[in-house]
Every structure is written in structure tokens, then in C-alpha cells.
Amino acid sequence: MRNIDSRLPLPSATVKNLSDEAAIVNASSEKKIMATKQYKAVRKLVWFRKVTETLAQMAGVGVRCMYCSGSESAQVEHYRPKATHPDLAFVWENLLWSCGICNQIKGNRFNEDVQPVNPVDDDVWNYFFIDQFGNLSPRWNPIENSLDSRAVETIKLHALDRQALQESRQERLDDLRSQARNTLVMLESGGIGPDDLQEVVLNWIRQPFQSDVADYFLSGPGKFDPMEPFKSLIDAMQVQSDV
């Protein structure tokens, strides 16, 4: 999981189309049935492509799943499922971009008492961290005196700790560490200049492979970890920006 910068706006015509569909659902005495019926029909319409295109744009380079970051996204995911919240089936703020695995594992489950972390609305690194082995893990919540309940719920809801994902995160972390250490050696030997570091790091962030790991260690709390080589790179970039 990673932070999605912001929710992009939709064209006014698309907003109106979504609003019209929501009105049809809300006017029905069988909202759940109507939401399912209307969504099945609408997702095939030309105008709905702007919804999927905008979600894909929000997902960034590689169009990776907003939840696992490991697979290419291809499905609209209703943060609150349309089966349990039919009134939100066509609400833009309820729509996310997900891979089929994360979407299907979740199904129609949603706990209003312990709401899963939303990658657009929440700062995900307030709830998760990536450990030295590349595992996505819930943070300790001192108020709850336990692992953060929202993080635990999110991992369970989308199986974000499935073995293939954790192994993929480990591989990305190992690769980033190797690149960071090599870059530090080049920096010390003069093979690369301090003013080039910004672009080097941005190129790593742009790589679509397990982008949650890059987000955590290059943009998030992991960049301050003194045990990792990324801190030295970030410090060198800071020195250059202060010159």
C-alpha cells in the first residue's frame, strides 16, 4: 500500500452522469439490486471510461493497484461496497483502482467500526511501516495499546501480507539498497555529482515495480532510518539544496 497524492477531478459531464445514476439508485425501493444492475450496465458505456482513465492516472506509473502495489490495476474498487452501501455506488469519492486479486479477496466485506485505510484519503504510513525484510506491517497504536486496528483490518481485507507480495517487496527493497549503496560510492568517487541525486532518486520512485517500498523508503518515514543507505542519499540531497 502507498499514498496516492490526491483525487483528481472529473469532467463536469462525467460528474453529472454519475449523479444521474446515483439518483436512479436512491429512488429505487430495492437499492442494492438497482445499484448492481446499473453499475453492470454503466461500466460498459463510453462516458464511464473517463472514470477508469482518471483512476488509472491517479494510480501513477505502471498503473499499479492502490492497495498492494504489486499488480497492474484493472478494476474499479468501491471503498464501501455497493452491495452494502448502494447509495455510494456512483459516488466518485468512493471509487478506487484495484487489481483483481485485492478486489475479489475483499468482496463485499467492510467494517464500519474499524474502517480500512484509504490510500487516497489517509496517510498510509501513519498506519503501516515496511520492516528491514520488506514486509508491510501494521504500526503499534499506543492509544489502542495494540497493533493499529485499521491497519490490521486493511491487511486482512485485501490479504496484503500474502507471500507473493511480501517476497516481491523484499526483492524491491534489496534492489533499492543495492542501487543506493552503489550511488553513494559513485558520489564519493566523483562518478556522479550531488546535483544529479534528485533525478536519480526520482527515477527510482517512478519505477512501477512494488512502488510501495520506494514510497516508504524514498518519500516516507523509511528515508530517515539510520540503518538504511537511503538516509545518506537524502542527507546529500539536502546539503545540495542548501548550497
Judge if 153 and 168 occupy the same domain.
no
How many C-beta atoms lie closer than 10 Å to residue 25's C-beta?
23
Judge if 48 and 104 occupy the same domain.
yes
**pLDDT tens by residue, 79-94:** 999 999 999 999 999 9
Number of domains in the chain: 2
- Out of 106, 133, 158, pick the residue that ends a domain: 158
Dmax over CA atoms of the chain, in Å, equals 72
Judge if 148 and 170 occupy the same domain.
no
Angle (CA) 169-174-175 rounded to 5° is 100
47 vs 90: CA distance, rounded Å: 13
Q: Give residues with Cβ within 8 angstroms of 3, minimum separation 6.
A: 119, 123, 124, 125, 215, 219, 220
Residue 105 belongs to some domain of the structure: yes
**pLDDT tens by residue, 15-58:** 999 999 999 999 999 999 999 999 999 999 999 999 999 999 99
- Out of 158, 176, 199, pick the residue that ends a domain: 158
96 vs 99: CA distance, rounded Å: 10
Reading the block at residue 206, the C-alpha cell is 517512478
pTM of structure: 0.91
Residue 185 belongs to some domain of the structure: yes
